Structure 1
Amino acid sequence: MQPISGINSRALNPLAPLDRKGSEDIKRDGEEAKKDPSKPVVDEYTPEKKPESAGQYWMGRDKDGSPKIYFDDPKKSSGPDKDSGAEGPQRSGGRKPETCIGNTDDVDREIRQLKRKQEELKQQLNFEQDPAKAEALKKQLSQVEQELRQKDNDTYRKAHSKFTQMA
């Protein structure tokens, strides 16, 4: 370690001299504010005029049911063009949420049938005496079990469920 007295003091000096005039102006402004107690120093809120809307884009469907982008121009009347036959959501209250009901009855029925077939194949395999027929039953059983593994899960149910839209 080196004692503090051995440190080069020139390295601690600033590179450029301070501008004395600028700092005096700052002191004077601050002193003037302190001298006048009748005026408190506060920020002042200046309200601004609300900017005019440039318009709004929104998704809708045309008369054929194809998706279409609409533009609400504030200079013209709001809403979709009545001439084009467009059917869009109501603009006054925003979009109306769609309600759908998912139905997994077909998938459940298919899984129940596979489970029944699996049980039947297991029973037939237990009572089968012929080794060739037993081997064929084992192959069928393994195919049914593989199909059950693929279909008896949430991913398959979600992908194959039917959705109906509520009115």
Structure 2
Amino acid sequence: METGVIQNSTVFQKNPSEPAMASPVRSLEDRDNTDKPASLPSPHDEYIKSENSSDTASGLYKVVPDENGSYKILYDDPKAEASKSSEEECTVNTDKADREIEKLKEKKEQLEQQINSASGDEGKVRELEKKLAAVEKELAQKDNDAYRRQNAVIS
């Protein structure tokens, strides 16, 4: 088998159909003294910082000591921080329903007082008792948590 020029510890064959033989061992001096062709520039990557990039890197691993003195690995996840900042605080306001219930309770008390004061007139007492029964029925429907939730204002 005929071999060609040795560069960078590789064997170049004149006839590629023949199997390659082991490359000869070269000394450190021979490797350092090899001349690289000047016409081929060495390839390299270059980082160009964009306007939108921040000074702090995202998605980094850190090794930090824990409370026992051993080390643990933490990951700074930029997506988790973004989701935390998008949380909104909501408040539920049931004041309107509460005021309506309070008005019904006051109306019930007024009707009971009117019934007690009009004890002599039975027609008026019956009419007031009908009104009182209607108010008590409406109060029973509205004085609960389900009604408050239905009529709550979320902001």
| Structure index of larger Rg | 2
TM-score by length of 1: 0.42
TM-score by length of 2: 0.45
